[in-house]
């Protein structure tokens, strides 16, 4: 929508998938452009498919601290509650961490993952494409 100058209604939560952000200057421009919207930042972790833009939390934290409209922060490929530790320790409490589950291991550990989240409302993301592929690949190892 940003690339086509389509207006975004007020009250909309704007998602920025950092896999598609080419550099931190571009992120800064996007955050300025959408400063009136709540922001959902999506950080790819252990991403295999293109694009391969990769950032670490320490690079992103200054943006989070300087943009109080960033309310949600997703991390991909969460398999266990231990995957959340670094993020929970560094993110401000005003930002909700959202684990993105993309494989059977994450599904099997979903209860421990959600219990680790220190929020009243717990949110997770399921990546249907990657999850479906993992289910097909591991069909014999998965039971209802």
- Write out pLDDT tens, residues 43-90: 988 766 667 677 889 999 999 999 999 999 999 999 999 999 999 999
Q: CA 126, CA 130: separation in Å to the nearest integer?
A: 9
pLDDT at residue 53, rounded to an integer: 72
Q: Does domain 9-141 have CATH number 3.20.80.10?
A: no
Helices of type H across the chain? 24-33, 57-66, 85-90, 104-108, 110-116, 128-137
Average pLDDT over residues 102-130: 91
Q: CA 47, CA 106: separation in Å to the nearest integer?
A: 15
Q: CA 62, CA 66: separation in Å to the nearest integer?
A: 6
How crowded is residue 142: how many other Cβ atoms within 10 Å of its Cβ? 13
The residue among 54 and 131 whose pLDDT is bigger is 54
pLDDT at residue 128, rounded to an integer: 67
Average pLDDT over residues 33-49: 88
Question: How far is it between the farthest Cα atoms of the chain?
Answer: 48
pLDDT at residue 140, rounded to an integer: 64
pLDDT at residue 131, rounded to an integer: 66
Rg, C-alpha atoms of the chain: 16
pLDDT at residue 50, rounded to an integer: 66
Tokens read off for 98: 């959202």
């Amino acid at each position: 929508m940003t690339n086509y100058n389509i207006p975004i209604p007020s009250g909309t939560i704007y998602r920025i998938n950092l896999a598609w952000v080419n550099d931190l200057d571009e992120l800064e421009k996007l955050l300025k452009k959408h400063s009136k919207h709540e922001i959902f930042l999506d950080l790819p972790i252990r991403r295999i498919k293109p694009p391969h833009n990769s950032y670490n939390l320490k690079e992103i934290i200054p943006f989070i601290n300087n943009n109080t409209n960033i309310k949600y922060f997703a991390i991909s490929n969460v398999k266990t509650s231990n995957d959340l530790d670094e993020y929970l320790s560094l993110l401000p409490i005003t930002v909700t961490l959202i684990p993105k589950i993309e494989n059977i291991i994450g599904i099997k550990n979903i209860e421990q993952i959600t219990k680790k989240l220190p929020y009243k409302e717990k949110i997770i993301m399921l990546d249907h494409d990657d999850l479906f592929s993992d289910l097909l690949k591991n069909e014999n190892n998965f039971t209802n």
